[in-house]
Amino acid sequence: KKKYKIAVLPGDGIGPEIIKEAYKIISVIKKKKYINLQTKEYDVGGIAIDKYNIALPEHTLIGCQNSDAILFGSVGGPKWNHLKLEKKPEISSLLSLRKFFNLFINLRPVKLHKKLLHFSPLKTNIIKKGFDILFIRELTGGIYFGVPKGRNELDPNNICAFDTAIYNTYEITRIAQFAFQQARKRKKKLVSIDKSNVLESSKLWREVVTKISYTFPEVQIEHLYVDNAAMQLIQNPSQFDVILCPNLFGDILTDESASLIGSLGMLPSASLNQKNFGLYEPAGGSAPDLKGKNLANPIAQILSLAMLFKYSLGFLDISEAIEHAVITVLKQGHHTYDISDKINFISTDMMGTKISENLMKIL
Ligand code: NAD
Ligand code: IPM
Ligand code: MN
Kindly state whether residues 9 and 78 are assigned to the same domain: yes
Tens-place pLDDT, residues 24-79: 999 999 999 989 999 999 999 999 999 999 999 999 999 999 999 999 999 999 99
Which residues are known binding-site members for Mg(2+)?
Answer: 227, 251, 255
Of all protein residues, the one whose alpha carbon is nearest to atom 6 of ligand 2 is: 90
Kindly state whether residues 138 and 83 are assigned to the same domain: no
- Closest to 181 measured CA to CA, from 248, 115, 114, 136: 136
Strand partners, 191: 222, 243
Average per-residue pLDDT for the chain = 97
Rounded to a whole number, what is the largest CA-CA distance in the chain? 66
pLDDT at 10 over 90: yes
Tens-place pLDDT, residues 220-247: 999 999 999 999 999 999 999 999 999 9
Using the Cα atoms of residue 37, residue 40, residue 45 and residue 46 in order, give the sign of their dihedral. Answer: positive
Kindly state whether residues 133 and 237 are assigned to the same domain: yes
Kindly state whether residues 280 and 250 are assigned to the same domain: no
279 Cβ closer than 6 Å to some ligand 2 atom = no
What percent of the chain is modeled with pLDDT above 90? 99
Q: Which atom of ligand 2 is nearest to the CA of 281?
A: 9
Kindly state whether residues 280 and 155 are assigned to the same domain: no
Give the integer Cα–Cα distance in Å for 161 and 149: 8
Give the pLDDT confidence score for residue 295 in this predicted structure: 98
Give the pLDDT confidence score for residue 26 in this predicted structure: 98
Phi, psi (deg, nearest 5) at residue 192: -105, 135
pLDDT at 128 over 90: no
Tens-place pLDDT, residues 198-219: 999 999 999 999 999 999 999 9
Kindly state whether residues 362 and 305 are assigned to the same domain: yes
Number of other residues whose CB lies within 10 A of the CB of residue 168: 11
The ligand placed nearest to the CA atom of residue 247 is 2
The set of protein residues with a Cβ atom below 6 angstroms from ligand 1 is 14, 18, 74-77, 90, 94, 263-265, 281-282, 284-290, 296-297, 300, 338
Give the pLDDT confidence score for residue 145 in this predicted structure: 98
Q: How far is the CA of 219 from the centre of ligand 3 (A)?
A: 28
Examine residue 253 and state whether it is found in any structural domain, yes or no: yes
Tens-place pLDDT, residues 90-105: 999 999 999 999 999 9
Give the pLDDT confidence score for residue 56 in this predicted structure: 98
Of all protein residues, the one whose alpha carbon is nearest to atom 10 of ligand 1 is: 287
pTM higher than 0.95: yes
Q: How many domains does the chain have?
A: 2
Which residues are known binding-site members?
Answer: 77-90, 98, 108, 137, 227, 251, 255, 285-297
For residues 308 and 269, the answer to whether their CB atoms sit within 8 Å is no
Examine residue 265 and state whether it is found in any structural domain, yes or no: no
- Closest to 245 measured CA to CA, from 142, 129, 125: 142
Residues with CB under 5 Å of ion ligand 3 are: 251
Examine residue 299 and state whether it is found in any structural domain, yes or no: yes
Give the pLDDT confidence score for residue 351 in this predicted structure: 98
Kindly state whether residues 244 and 155 are assigned to the same domain: yes
Examine residue 297 and state whether it is found in any structural domain, yes or no: yes
Examine residue 113 and state whether it is found in any structural domain, yes or no: no
Domain encompassing residue 144: 121-260
Instruction: Output the domain CATH number for residue 142.
Output: 3.40.718.10
Kindly state whether residues 230 and 160 are assigned to the same domain: yes
- Edge-to-edge strand order for the sheet containing 242-245? 36-41, 3-11, 69-74, 278-282, 268-272, 105-112, 131-138, 242-245, 189-194, 220-225
Which residues are known binding-site members for substrate?
Answer: 98, 108, 137, 227
Kindly state whether residues 130 and 97 are assigned to the same domain: no
Question: Of 260, 283, 301, which residue is a domain's last?
Answer: 260
Q: Hey, which residues are catalytic here?
A: 144, 195, 227, 251, 255
Please calculate the CA angle 100-25-179 and round it to the nearest 5 degrees. 45
Tens-place pLDDT, residues 135-185: 999 999 999 999 999 999 999 999 999 999 999 999 999 999 999 999 999
1 band by pLDDT with thresholds 50, 70 and 90: confident
Examine residue 266 and state whether it is found in any structural domain, yes or no: no
Whole-number Cα distances in Å, 312 to 5, 63, 187, 250, 323: 11, 16, 24, 22, 16
DSSP state of 93: I
Alpha carbons within 13 A on the beta-carbon side of 29: 24
Give the pLDDT confidence score for residue 290 in this predicted structure: 98
Q: How far is the CA of 251 from the centre of ligand 3 (A)?
A: 5
Kindly state whether residues 219 and 344 are assigned to the same domain: no
